[in-house]
Structure 1
Amino acid sequence: MDDVRQTSGVGLAALLLFWPVVLVAAVLVGFAVWYQSDGLRRWLWLALVSAIAIGLLVLQQRGDSRFAWCGLVIALGVAVLWWISIKPSNDRDWAPDVEHGVTAELQDGDALLHNIRDFDWRSETDFTPHWETRIYPIAALSSVDLISSVWSNPAIAHTLISFGFDDGRFVVFSAEIRKERHESFSELGGFFKMFELVLIAADERDILRLRTNIRHETVSMFRLRLTPEQRRALFLSFLDMGNRLAGTPEFYQTITSNCTTIIFKLARLIEPGTPLDWRILLSGYLPDYLYEHGIVDKNLPLEMVKQRALITRLGEEAGSAPDYSKRIRVAVP
């Protein structure tokens, strides 16, 4: 009698476990199929995934547990092999604003940067594209600013890093999704290998004015308190990243490989003891994290630092003026 009860209990546990495993797997594979295919092919693959899930559940319901579990293992194995076979690429029909990622060469103390973006934006869809090669003397690197740009949810922000030089020039680095011409941004798609990762280097009148004047996002700028050695190391780590992505493409990942986590990983190369924090993921709260650890000036209360860091209005007023970078910094602590 005890053996019968034990066998029944095992069967019940297997049944209770089987259903959620099949349903969760079907949903995940369904999302992967949705973001990796389109048109009629997308619906045919979704129909196949649904049919396999239903078939496995029917087998389990009829008491064919062994066949059902074997079928599930085989189906998951095929899905995993398909997922592994999806590789990132640098050779697609890219959207114009992410057509080129930055690459760099070091020459006698200077950084020669290729593919600096300097677009003239009239709207998000109306612009004059322009890519340049520029030389920056590494010894003249004088400042590092973190820019936080919020478009809807205050907990989520796009994060950029701007490096300033003694001659008044600035170059901004931004880790972004690399959209194809027909694609639009999707946070959920970022979990399912929908986009590659690209490192954009741009003039501030391009990449910041796009956010302040065209998209009308809430943009803030925070001066980072770094030593000359740390500034140089961070700058060089961005150059290394650009060259690495040009040679070995990677996928953008909404949680683990986005604009903020990339900066955090680079910062850890400089200071391995940099602590992990939930505000790294909820990037809208990254300024709080920086303030707490003294990476931004703590001589003022945090709320006052945040208030003075807002540059949206200043950017709108500066427009495309030659001294745009100077104008947006008049109140930044």
Structure 2
Amino acid sequence: MIVVALLVIAIVFCGIWWSGALWYRLPVGPYGRYAAIAGWLLLSLGTIIVLLRGDWRPLLLYAAVFVGLSLWWTTIRPSNDREWADDVGRMLSAEINGNSVTLHNVRNFEWRTETDYTPRWETRRYDLATLTSVDMVLSYWGRPAIAHTLVSFGFADGQFVVFSVEIRKEKTESFSEIGGFFKEFETSIVAADERDIVRLRPNVRGEDTYIYRIRMSKEAARSLFLAYAEAANALTQRPRFYNTITANCTTIVYEMVNRIVPGLPMDYRLVLSGYLPEYIHDVGGLDTNTSVAELRIRGRITERAIAADKSPDFSNAIRANVPGIPVPTTAITDGNR
């Protein structure tokens, strides 16, 4: 009976998972997908009923269909050649020459609304010898457990560049957490100006956004920057599917940081990324003299970003009063002119 119970559980799980796979990836219209899912669920249900009656023969048919689905799944490959949405239309690439890194296709859009924008793609050079800071930006759009993770690198000349691991959606697609389980999206690494990618979140999309200064040695910060650059170069050669759990904006950051600080513990907060500040604080990556609650309160930049909307000093304005971030002597914000 234990074997039968385990088989029933496995068939139920597979019935749900493959139904999602058929819905999101079967290249037919909606009625064709409905029919395929109905057929699969009827086969799964029928197999369970007969198994409970003690007849194992239907498992042969079920196994044959399962193998066929698995073979079909392996034929679905990621690609860099699709009709991409404008904001992920170009791929980031990097030329690395010692401390000098030239990034091609740095995004610097001027966003008015999500559908009204002026696209700009730029080539920028960064001197890693002048790298001075690493900040984590978290943006929430609904549930407190889920946030998008961005990492911003600051330089002595006042430049900031933000890296973001995102879905690479096509023109006709929109983000779907469920679709992210079923090879619906490729992975994109975006490098962008803060006035593009950070401002976009609270000012245009209405998301609640927070910034935290990361405690990291200069060498570790340099290695993390290079890890992003190398990962972006790798994607230009070998595209990769985004996965809501195993290859999302937070888990990929973990993979890169773990190369620099080996042995970082795995944690549920790497999936429930809204709680990432607690995890980073626990491993010593945030100001340990300040509680997470205080870091969250003082790190909230939503109103500051909206107030500094058009300010050329946007990056300094959003960092005002954030623990661990020194006040620039030349900072000018809309509130203290």
Could you tell me the TM-score, scaled by structure 1's length? 0.91
2:19 counterpart of 1:36: no
Corresponding residue for residue 140 of structure 2: 150
2:299 counterpart of 1:309: yes
**Shift in Å, 1:41:** 3.2
* Deviation sequence 1:146-200 (CA, Å, 0-9, x none): 0011111111111100000111010000000111111111111111111111101
Summarize the alignment of residues 1-333 of structure 1 with structure 2, pairs less than 5 Å apart. Answer: 16=5, 19-37=8-26, 38-53=29-44, 56=47, 60=51, 65-107=55-97, 109-333=99-323
Q: Is the 8 A contact 1:22 1:72 kept in 2?
A: no
Report the residue type matching 1:104 in the other structure.
Answer: A
| In 2, Cα distance between equivalents of 1:21 and 1:271 | 38
Q: Is the 8 A contact 2:145 2:274 kept in 1?
A: yes
| In 2, Cα distance between equivalents of 1:97 and 1:20 | 42
| In 2, Cα distance between equivalents of 1:239 and 1:178 | 17
* Deviation sequence 1:244-270 (CA, Å, 0-9, x none): 111111111111110111111111000
Alignment gaps of 5+ in structure 2: 324-337
| In 2, Cα distance between equivalents of 1:58 and 1:163 | 58
Report the residue type matching 2:148 in the other structure.
Answer: H
Q: Secondary structure at the match of 1:133?
A: strand
Q: Is the 8 A contact 1:57 1:68 kept in 2?
A: no
Report the residue type matching 1:172 in the other structure.
Answer: V
Report the residue type matching 2:106 in the other structure.
Answer: I
**Shift in Å, 1:131:** 0.8
Q: Secondary structure at the match of 1:44?
A: helix
Q: Secondary structure at the match of 1:314?
A: helix
| In 2, Cα distance between equivalents of 1:299 and 1:177 | 36
| In 1, Cα distance between equivalents of 2:78 and 2:255 | 20
Report the residue type matching 2:120 in the other structure.
Answer: H
Q: Is the 8 A contact 1:101 1:201 kept in 2?
A: no
Q: Secondary structure at the match of 2:250?
A: helix
Report the residue type matching 2:18 in the other structure.
Answer: V
| In 2, Cα distance between equivalents of 1:291 and 1:19 | 42
**Shift in Å, 1:123:** 0.8
Percent pairwise identity:
45
Q: Is the 8 A contact 2:107 2:190 kept in 1?
A: yes
**Shift in Å, 1:107:** 3.2
Report the residue type matching 1:52 in the other structure.
Answer: L
Report the residue type matching 2:97 in the other structure.
Answer: Q
Task: Give the direction of change, closer, same or farther, for the CA distance of 1:274–1:50 in structure 2 (3 Å limit).
Answer: closer
Q: Which of the two has greater helix per residue?
A: 1
**Shift in Å, 1:57:** 5.1
* Deviation sequence 1:113-138 (CA, Å, 0-9, x none): 01101111111111111111111111
**Shift in Å, 1:21:** 3.7
| In 1, Cα distance between equivalents of 2:232 and 2:5 | 48
Greater Rg by CA: 1
RMSD, matched Cα? 1.9
| In 2, Cα distance between equivalents of 1:54 and 1:277 | 36
Report the residue type matching 2:196 in the other structure.
Answer: D
Task: Give the direction of change, closer, same or farther, for the CA distance of 1:145–1:15 in structure 2 (3 Å limit).
Answer: closer
| In 2, Cα distance between equivalents of 1:220 and 1:301 | 15
| In 2, Cα distance between equivalents of 1:267 and 1:20 | 37
Q: Is the 8 A contact 2:50 2:56 kept in 1?
A: no
Q: Is the 8 A contact 2:137 2:211 kept in 1?
A: yes
| In 2, Cα distance between equivalents of 1:57 and 1:301 | 52
Alignment gaps of 5+ in structure 1: 1-11
| In 1, Cα distance between equivalents of 2:179 and 2:91 | 21
